[in-house]
Amino acid sequence: MNRIRRRQINPQKINAMPFQDLFIYYLKGRLKTANGMFQNNFLGNWQEEDDSFLFFSSPASRQIQNILDHQHQLSYVDSYEMSYDQWLGEIFGTFDHGKFRITPIWESGKGQSGDEKVEILLDPGLVFGTGTHPTTRDCLEALEAAACSKEFKTVLDLGTGTGLLSLAAARLGSRRVVAVDLNLLAAKTAVKNVQLNQLQDRVVVVQGNAEDIIDYPADLVIANIHYDVMRHLINAEGFVEKKRFILSGLLRSEAKEVADRLVRHPVQILKQWTRDGIWHTFYGKTEQQT
């Protein structure tokens, strides 16, 4: 877990959307990267098990063909062209939720000032997690509740994505936050957002498997993550050793399964959120905690 080096941010360099149009190439297989294999229009590789999604800011058919010619474990599946907003599934702009004001970097300096909102600068890049999804907003509310307890000095954020919830925990007073994501592109994005918010002294980003890191000691664990991963986390010994927990990203049937699993542990659910009859979030504590 390397400490992220502090970097000063020049506001004049960040008040623009990161991309306008995206050119996405879907390849079957795991890409082997090497220095110099991409041109300046390459934005990143989103790896999902045996699938590679390569992002470019302009057409890159020749680069893709060159990769396929040299890496025979890969095969071309499809390609897509879309706007940045289409990729995110929304037009991401500044919004308030609870104590927080989430501000895209391209709107930095344009927001309101003089109020008591806790501002978080965010560059989502190619990663989902702008804070507009119902489960993320519920997690922000749960974090506010957790911050009122004594069990908030250290936080473990599993499936951090853009790092938003880790940044929120640090802004609310957590002294040490470990943000974890298996996806390398997500981890790199979270690192950038930690730097944007000058929180390198409180937040450390780790690229790794949530199931391997659940035993890391922390007061609070946040898991806004796929149910297939969460069900293993709940059964881990390290889960019940946490003083508080926030579990989210759950559909109705999955939430029922989680609730059934939680009753087998010495824990108490303090609050449950249900949004649109679809998404569910749990906030709770171990029974020995006050």
CA pseudo-torsion sign 19, 25, 26, 28: negative
The predicted model scores a pTM of: 0.86
* DSSP calls for 32-64: ---TTSS-TTEEEEEEETTEEEEEESS--HHHH
Structure tokens at 164: 């938003």
Domain spans of the chain, in order of start? 21-88, 95-286
Q: Are 120 and 96 in contact (CB under 8 A)?
A: no
Structure tokens at 184: 């390398």
Residue 224: how many other CB atoms lie within 10 Å: 25
Give the tens place of pLDDT for each residue, 149-193: 888 999 999 999 999 999 999 999 999 999 999 999 999 999 999
Instruction: Determine the pLDDT at residue 1.
Output: 30
Give the tens place of pLDDT for each residue, 90-112: 888 999 999 999 999 999 876 56
Architecture of domain 95-286: 3-Layer(aba) Sandwich (3.40)
Give the tens place of pLDDT for each residue, 21-49: 999 999 999 999 887 889 999 999 998 88
Is 3.30.70 the CATH number for 21-88? yes
Give the tens place of pLDDT for each residue, 56-91: 999 999 999 999 999 999 999 999 999 988 888 888
Task: Considering only residues 5 and 114, tell me which one the structure prediction assigns the higher pLDDT.
Answer: 114
